[in-house]
Amino acid sequence: MATMALLLQYNGAGYHGFATQKPHNGRDLATVQGELNRALEVLYRRPVDTTCAGRTDAGVHALGQVISYDVSEEELETRTPRVLLRSLNALTPEDMGVRDVWQAADGFSARFDAQWREYRYYLSVGPLPPLVMADFCWHLRCEPLDIQAMNEAAQYLIGEHDFKSFCLAASAVGKPTCRNVLDLSVAPVQIAGQDLVCIRVVGSSFLHSMVRTIAGTLVAVGRGLREPAWVDSVLKACSRDAAGEKAPAQGLVFWQVGYEGYNRHLG
């Protein structure tokens, strides 16, 4: 067997998350993995098991999701990566796109071989919602955020900690909740002429809703509702009730993934 890898982008607004799900009320739920698997099944004329670098929730977008799957030597010789790229983009919906295809090392796993993952969360502040980025950010009708205070608060979350306060409570039952945040910063950015704020989070792995809860917690600090040191007490509480609100899904983008010796990323 050989292993193929894909670099995938998608607009998550129309999907119930990345992972395939059981039918609900007799209807199949649209998922990113479901659409991708259908396209691969058409190409290879068999079911294809895919593995992603990180599952995304309903409404969350991705610009640098990585997917891996196995093929036989015969299937490998049938289609070059260039042909496979063109075919997949013809078979998948318009709100998905395969950006790159390559043959990975045998046994490569998009999930287990990932060394770090980067997410970016976008905020818009002011009386008017952004025009171009309206579907890709959280619009806050408030005064400008105190970015310095948000960055001060972010420092408490960098490093290896128990992030139980920052994950969906039900998903933490009986499971380890320690994670390592490698970098966390807040900065103003401009996209398509729109002034936004970007929360950039890099970590080895993340808990369910962890990034969105971090974003909501930092926003509370940025709005002056909490002091930066409050975030330290939230972390130590190990209780979801201690943290801020979970930020809306549409502002979150799974940005890129890092692998040892070989990366497909945006830089």
Residues with catalytic function: 57
**119 known ligand binder:** yes
Give exposure, 140-163, as e/b (b: 16+ Cβ within 10 Å).
beeeebbbebbbbbbebbbeebeb
Q: Which of 153, 173, 165 is nearest to 242 (CA)?
A: 165
Contact 124, 132 (CB under 8 A): no
What are the DSSP E strand ranges found in the chain?
2-10, 51-52, 61-71, 96-104, 114-125, 138-140, 159-162, 178-191, 194-203, 252-259
Q: Is 155 helix (H, G, I), strand (E, B) or coil?
A: helix
Bridge partners of 48, per DSSP, are none
Rg of the chain (C-alpha set): 19
Q: How far apart are CA 179 and CA 207, in angstroms?
A: 8
Q: How many CB atoms lie within 10 A of CB 74?
A: 8
- Angle among Cα 10, 262, 136 to the nearest 5 degrees reads 20
Distance, CA of 114 to CA of 109 (rounded, Å)? 8
Cα dihedral across residues 249, 32, 195, 167: positive or negative:
positive
Tell me the binding residues for substrate: 119
Tell me the binding residues: 119
